[in-house]
Each structure stands twice: as structure tokens, then as C-alpha cells.
Amino acid sequence: MTIVQKATRHFTMRTPTDEHVADRIVDLSQHGTIPTPFRVSDYRDRFPELSENHLRTVLANYELKGYMVMRRGMRPRFRRVGRGLYEPI
């Protein structure tokens, strides 16, 4: 697991990388913790350190035709099955 540290004036906050978040969402779905297909509201409480907008971006980036997959050559994690609905690959 890769963790990025963000230093602030008073403390250091550890946030997971987007790739780790995508893998964790897939794990939650495969273990039946969240329903399949899922949306952001199904796993939002599992990542309190990340904003809802950031979580939506992770889904879009790691979707089969997403930015990280098409432009960066990363492995896709999700397939879009409807508006705001995804399933793990």
C-alpha cells in the first residue's frame, strides 16, 4: 500500500493514493460489503479522509475508458453500467 503524506502547518495527514482507493473499492465489492453495481454513496463512509468529488473522480479515472486507463496505461478497475453506477472488472 502506498501512502502519500501531505504536510500541513500543524500535522501530517496520510491519504491513500487513487490507485489504492480503486483497489479497495473493488475489494469491498467482491467481499459483498457494498452492493454490485455500486455508486459513491455505497462506500463514501469507508473513506472519510476523501471528498465525495474525489471519490467520483477515482471511479471515472479507473473506469474501462477512463483517463488513467486510456492515457496512462493503468489497469482498469471498473465498468460503467449506468449513470453513476459501476461494477468491478
- What cell numbers appear for 15 in the block? 491519504
Q: Is there a domain that residue 66 lies in?
A: yes
DSSP state, residue 46: G
**Model pLDDT, residue 4:** 52
Say yes or no to pLDDT of 38 above 70: yes
Q: Would 61 be classed as within a structural domain?
A: yes
Percent of the chain beyond pLDDT 70?
83
For 53, the domain range is 16-88
| Inside any domain, residue 45 | yes
Query: What is the tens place of the pLDDT at every residue in 4-33?
Result: 555 555 444 456 789 999 999 999 999 999
Assigned domain for 64 exists: yes
**What local confidence, expressed as pLDDT, does residue 11 receive?**
45
> Has residue 7 been placed in a domain?
no
Confidence of residue 87 (pLDDT cuts 50, 70, 90): very high
